[in-house]
Amino acid sequence: MTSSTTQSESTVVDGVHYHQHDIVIVGAGGAGMRAAIEAGPHASTAVISKLYPTRSHTGAAQGGMAAALANVEEDNWEWHTFDTIKGGDYLVDQDAAEILAKEAIDAVIDLENMGLPFNRTPEGKIDQRRFGGHTRDHGKSPVRRSCYAADRTGHMILQTLYQNCVKRGINFFNEYYVLDLVMTNVDGVDQPSAVVALDLSSGELHVFQGKAFIFATGGFGKIYKTTSNAHTLTGDGVGIVWRKGLPLEDMEFFQFHPTGLAGLGILLTEGARGEGAILRNASGERFMERYAPTIKDLAPRDIVSRCMLKEVAEGRGAGPEKDYLYLDCTHLGKELLETKLPDITEFARTYLGVDPVTEPVPVMPTAHYAMGGIPTNVKAEVWRNNEQIVPGLYAAGECACVSVHGSNRLGTNSLLDINVFGKRAGNNAVEYVKTASFTPLPEDPAKEVRELLEGIRSSTGTERIAVLRKILQEEMDKKAQVFRTDESLAEVTETIHVLRERYKNIGVQDKGRRFNTDLLEAVELGFLLDLAEVVVYSARNRKESRGGHQREDYLVRDDENYLKHTMAYLKGDAMSADAADHIKLDWKPVVITRYQPMERKY
């Protein structure tokens, strides 16, 4: 076994290691570790991660975590709730948004008490900066709501949570890749009984039996080529749930962050614009004044991304190909850039050879965040359908859809989401296991995973993983990015069907068992194909424009027909050639409490 904080003993049967814990958490990013901090002191808890915890993608989040602390200027949780709902283009479940905004304040204070080194005001309070879509008085002007640690907020959260997990003696299984959720039929109902993981260091299989399971496996931005997401964000947890016949919610909504380094996608935080950086076109015009006159460059991300692409399409782009725009930080001064935005300053220098202190930085939108995922209620319990939950199964973070982000997430609400609903998942799992029993395991719970891995390892196929992945990502970039049409979505659907057929003939060059990254990427590609297909199929079915889903052939938001969540279900064989054969779509009502949908003006 790989080293970790503490680890439970296991029994070995026919070469498979068996573990038993009350609560099994899959994923050791922000949501998973926040859940572990709540669960660990009260129940036997295991955290399984295919990465060392401090390499999780939470560490890449830069700008901050929203909370209406009112440390710098007047603010309250109701304004935060409204901004979240409006920012999500009214597809947000408003009961969940109220919880997010109310519990944000305690979530920040929890982290402060754990030792997180937030930036401070001269008076010693947690400092706050502006961020896109966050306003006072229900949209009248920008507000300083984002609590931050320079532009390394996610990194600081990840380190702080890990240190507190170590302090509590949490069981970590690092570099274990979970590949299956074992479901056992009990009285005619399928219930989770275990997860099966591959120990990357040895190639051995491990079965983790539990009473409750929390999925916190992050997003799936690697379905796109130009993305801020790490190479490992392949949607494994979401894909596992999908293959078990459980639904996925609102998968068509994917957020594109406005300021990725042009051509690379590496993120430059929205916090730069919160500190006063300005988006400019080739002529130096501050073009967002034309589109969002009230909050300008701090409009929500979906709006800014569309405006940027429009500027380029109408010939106002910069560079030899006129295919990017500029983020101008030059007026902010060297001291501010080096102290409050040190990482993005270094990124621009390292990857583009541009110094933000003296010259504008080339930027364009980059695939950033999945608003959709595993459907949950506000207790983080996973829905089996629109009316029933799956007892003992929870999800939190980007892999989950609660839905606090609707069709477009506001900046800084992601770090907030993982802390609020990670904490809720941990607490509710603890309550569940107090009265729950272990669900019996099937005779050979590792059978499906063993057959999957051996099938790939022993294949003599000639298709290469990198080639198929490149085709998928490039096609998704071209035809299912910020703007979509029925024609473009149909074309990429056909590409995915062809790639599925070619995937059946893959071969891996590395036949070994220890740290076989060739095998790992082959499995990950299977999940990417599954999820890209659900994204495209759901997008083609939603004939309107809303938030991160923009149809050039259906330009307006249609509340009469589409003010509802998409629910996608797997039926039949996931590997069949035609999505119509194995994807069924349904709808779920949006929870509306206080705020009726209105036109989004900024």
Active site (catalytic) residues: 301
Q: 101: helix, coil or strand?
A: helix
Report the distance separating Cα 441 and Cα 513, nearest Å. 26
135 is in an annotated binding site: no
61 appears as a binding residue in the annotation: yes
**Euclidean distance between CA atoms 597 and 592, whole angstroms:** 9
What is the DSSP-derived secondary structure letter of residue 349?
I
- From CA 157, how far away is CA 474, in angstroms rounded? 33
Report whether 57 belongs to an annotated binding site.
Answer: yes
- Contact (Cβ atoms closer than 8 angstroms) between residue 524 and residue 228: no
Report the alpha-carbon distance of residue 509 to residue 140 in Å, rounded. Answer: 59
Ligand-binding annotation for 62, yes or no, is: yes
> In what order do the strands lie in the sheet containing 361-370?
254-261, 361-370, 325-328, 278-280
Q: How far apart are CA 8 and CA 380, in angstroms?
A: 26
259 is in an annotated binding site: no
Helix runs in 175-258, H state only: 236-243
Given phi > 0 = left and psi -120 to 50 = alpha, else beta, which region is 169? left
* 80: region left, alpha or beta (phi > 0 left; psi from -120 to 50 alpha): alpha
**CA 153/CA 341 separation, integer angstroms:** 11
Task: Say which residue the tokens 């036109």 belong to.
Answer: 599
42 assigned ligand-binding residue: no
Find out whether 398 is annotated in a ligand binding site: yes
Query: Which residues are CB-neighbours of 455 under 8 A, at least 6 positions away?
Result: none
568 known ligand binder: no
The encoded tokens of residue 481 equal 């990015």
Q: What is the CA radius of gyration of the chain?
A: 23
- 133 in a labelled binding site: no
Known binding residue 545? Answer is: no
Q: Is 112 annotated as a binding residue?
A: no
Check: CB of residue 144 under 8 Å from CB of residue 150. no
Q: How far is CA 139 from CA 12, 79, 597, in A?
A: 60, 8, 14
Residues in the chain: 602
Q: Is 52 annotated as a binding residue?
A: yes
* 64 annotated binding-site participant: yes
List, in sequence order, every beta strand (DSSP E) within 99-204. 128-136, 141-147, 171-174, 176-186, 189-199
Give CA–CA dist 512/220, Å, rounded. Answer: 27
Spatial strand order in the sheet of 248-249: 248-249, 564-570, 583-589
Rounded CA gap, 81 and 341, in Å? Answer: 27
Is 15:41 a contact under the CB 8 Å cutoff? no
Q: Which alpha helices (DSSP H) does 434-516 contain, by range?
A: 447-458, 465-479, 486-503
For residues 178 and 207, give the distance between their C-alpha atoms in angstroms, rounded to a whole number. Answer: 9
As a whole number of angstroms, the distance between CA 461 and CA 456 comes to 9
Residue 443 marked as a ligand binder: no
29 annotated binding-site participant: yes
| Neighbour count for residue 572 (Cβ, 10 Å) | 10
Q: Is 34 annotated for ligand binding?
A: no
User: Alpha helix (H) ranges present in 297-412?
Assistant: 301-313, 334-340, 342-347
184 is in an annotated binding site: no
28 marked as part of a ligand binding site: yes
To the question of whether residue 368 is assigned a binding role by annotation, the answer is yes
**30 marked as binding residue:** yes
Q: Is 50 annotated as a binding residue?
A: yes
Q: Is 56 annotated as a binding residue?
A: yes
The answer to the question of whether 546 is labelled as a binding residue is no
Rounded to the nearest 10°, the torsion over CA 36, 38, 42, 43 is -30
The annotation status of 284 as a binding-site residue, yes or no, is no
Binding site, residues?
27-32, 49-64, 236, 257, 269, 368, 398, 409, 414-415
Binding site for FAD, residues?
27-32, 49-64, 236, 398, 414-415
Binding site for substrate, residues?
257, 269, 368, 409
